């Protein structure tokens, strides 16, 4: 691999790495949101004294 | 727009971005001809310039949404403007890093303070990075939304200055590819550039839609939490 090829590869890999990092951060965020939804569903169920709402109905907007 | 329609649009844009970007990278690395002056290293152009133009587009989009907020006072534009600035900063980081790599191989330095184009882009990037400090130093509400909108609008003034700086400079080493006579490159090179630009714009749109959906969900959860408290 020539020096120019190394630099070009590095430039493209940096872009790819940043996109991948963004996806990983976003995956953590989705995980946090899921935990918060479960927590709220549990809290709502405890307040109503009934069973927790079904997942599909919770996610419907 | 309904949630399912928004989700479908986000998936379609993400798929388009993946196809366009992968095709553009393959064409840039294996099909586009070598530049007569810079040789193989010129291929960084196909990622660096589209990423820089996408950063400008994101900042411009953020400013447009900020203007809409100030005009209509609709709260949703605050989140949209914030998300666009967020995307602009991500693409700004990519512009600076890929530009530095290209500078190292072409000019022998990672950065040149004498280049107005580079310094102005850095100022633009730092200006929008400071947007987050301003935003999070104020309590959420209409006041923060208005302040953030005014700040995002001020920043947009730097975009044409940064874009035109290279043409206003007297002594420069940064290459000028797009002149009044059109793009100064072969047709095949211009085709790959357009493909890459479409790919990065689609990628920014996909990230914007996903990030916006996540932030909206965050807001709704906060409201729910308050309602259940």
Q: Which residues of A touch B224 (CB under 8 A)?
A: 40
Domain count, chain B: 1
- Report yes or no on B2 lying in a domain: no
ipTM for this model? 0.80
CA distances from B3 to B138, B147, B212, B217 (A): 30, 29, 12, 11
- Report yes or no on B151 lying in a domain: yes
Question: Cα angle at B83 between B48 and B221, to 5 degrees?
Answer: 145
- Report yes or no on B1 lying in a domain: no
The 3-class SS string of B150-199 reads HHHHHHCCHHHHHHHHHHHCCCCCCCCCEECCEECCCHHHHHHHHHHHHH
Length of chain A in residues, anyone? Answer: 61
Q: Looking at the complex, report in whole angstroms how far the Cα of residue B137 sits from the nearest Cα belonging to chain A.
A: 22
Percent of chain B as helix, strand, coil, to the nearest 5: 80, 5, 20
Q: Looking at the complex, report in whole angstroms how far the Cα of residue B18 sits from the nearest Cα belonging to chain A.
A: 11
Q: Which residues of A touch B41 (CB under 8 A)?
A: 4, 7-8
Chain A residues whose C-beta is within 8 A of a chain B C-beta are 2-5, 7-8, 10-12, 14-15, 18-19, 22, 26, 29-30, 33, 36-37, 40, 43-44, 47, 61
Size of interface A-B (CB pairs under 8 A): 66
Q: Do A14 and B101 touch (CB under 8 A)?
A: yes
For residue B44, the enclosing domain spans 9-32+40-176+187-222
Question: What does the pLDDT look like over B20-75, one tens digit per residue?
Answer: 999 999 999 998 888 877 888 889 999 999 999 999 999 999 999 999 999 998 88
Q: Which residues of A29-42 are buried (b: 16+ CB within 10 A; e: fewer)?
A: beeeeeebbeebbe
According to the model, what pLDDT value does residue B180 have?
A: 67
The single-letter DSSP state of residue B114 is T
Q: What is the pLDDT along chain B (229 residues), one digit of tens a residue?
A: 666 666 778 888 999 999 999 999 999 999 888 887 788 888 999 999 999 999 999 999 999 999 999 999 888 899 999 999 999 999 999 999 999 998 898 888 888 887 777 888 899 999 999 999 999 998 888 899 999 999 999 888 888 877 676 666 655 556 666 666 767 777 888 999 999 999 999 999 999 999 998 888 888 888 888 887 7
- Report yes or no on B227 lying in a domain: no
């Amino acid at each position: 691999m020539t020096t120019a090829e190394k630099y070009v590869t590095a430039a493209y890999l940096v872009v790819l790495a940043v996109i991948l990092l963004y996806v990983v951060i976003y995956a953590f965020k989705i995980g946090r949101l899921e935990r918060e939804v479960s927590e709220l569903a549990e809290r709502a169920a405890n307040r109503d004294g009934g069973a927790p709402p079904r997942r599909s109905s919770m996610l419907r907007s | 727009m309904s949630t399912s329609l928004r989700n479908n649009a986000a998936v379609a844009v993400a798929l388009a971005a993946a196809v366009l970007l992968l095709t553009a990278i393959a064409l840039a690395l294996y099909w586009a001809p070598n530049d007569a002056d810079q040789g193989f290293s010129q291929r960084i152009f196909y990622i660096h310039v589209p990423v820089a133009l996408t950063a400008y587009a994101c900042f411009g989009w953020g400013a447009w949404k900020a203007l809409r907020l100030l005009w209509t006072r609709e709260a949703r534009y605050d989140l949209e403007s914030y998300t666009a600035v967020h995307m602009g900063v991500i693409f700004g980081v990519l512009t600076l890093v890929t530009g530095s790599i290209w500078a190292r191989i072409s000019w022998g330095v990672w950065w040149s303070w004498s280049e107005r184009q580079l310094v102005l882009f850095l100022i633009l990037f730092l200006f929008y990075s400071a947007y987050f400090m301003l935003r999070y130093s104020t309590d959420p509400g209409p006041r923060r939304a208005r302040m953030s909108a005014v700040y995002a609008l001020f920043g947009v003034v730097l975009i044409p200055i940064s874009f035109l700086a290279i043409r206003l400079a007297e002594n420069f080493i940064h290459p000028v590819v797009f002149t009044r006579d059109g793009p100064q490159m072969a047709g095949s090179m211009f085709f790959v550039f357009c493909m890459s630009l479409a790919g990065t714009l689609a990628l920014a749109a996909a990230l914007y839609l996903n990030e916006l959906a996540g932030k909206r969900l965050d807001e709704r959860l906060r409201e729910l939490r308050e309602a259940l408290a």
